[in-house]
Amino acid sequence: MAAYTTALTCAFWRPEQPALLAAGLFLAGITYGALGVAFGSLLRREVEGMFAVVMTSVIDLALQNPLYSSRSNGSIVRYLPCYGAMQAATGAGFSTTPLPEYLAIQTGWFAAAALVGLLAFHSRTRNSLSRTRPHVIAPSTR
């Protein structure tokens, strides 16, 4: 998906570092995928998980957008889930300076979200598996 998005972007605009743009988009996508697994494992119904992912992404990206938020460079923005991907993708579009530190930040967010999702999934499924008993057929007494 990141390659497709980067190719489509390059058809209409020439970013300075298309590979870094693709990497930032890819890391943003897998981070939100991992957040979806975490929300899906922690919340009871699918609608709650979808709402949590959508609202997280809307708030995350709206606070980083300088057109919508006057505090887009504030200190709290650095702790949002897609801060690293947004900085890497923006830098890739307008600068020739490599920005691996922002990709590292985004990789950390992905790892943390994936760990939370895996632990929550393990916690939820471990209890279900311990309650199931194998079905034993009693021998006939004929």
Residues 6+ apart with CB under 8 A from 80: 60, 63, 64
What one-letter code names the amino acid at 32?
A: Y
> How many whole angstroms separate alpha carbon 118 and alpha carbon 76?
27
pLDDT digits (tens, 9 = 90+) for 35-57: 999 998 888 888 888 899 899 98
Which helix H or strand E contains 100, and what residues bound it? Answer: helix 100-131
Q: Given the structure tokens 């998980």, which residue do they identify? A: 49
Three-class SS state of 43: coil
Convert the pLDDT of each residue in 72-87 to its tens digit: 566 788 888 998 998 8
Residue indicated by tokens 């600068």: 95
CA distances from 96 to 3, 15, 101 (A): 19, 9, 15
- Lowest mean per-residue pLDDT among 42-51, 61-70, 91-100, 105-114: 61-70
Place of tokens 């494992």: 41
At 6-27, the pLDDT tens digits run 999 999 999 999 999 999 999 9
Residue 132 has pLDDT above 70, yes or no: no
Residue with tokens 């743009």: 21
**Spatial CB neighbours of 37, under 8 Å, sequence gap ≥ 6:** 113, 114, 117, 118, 121
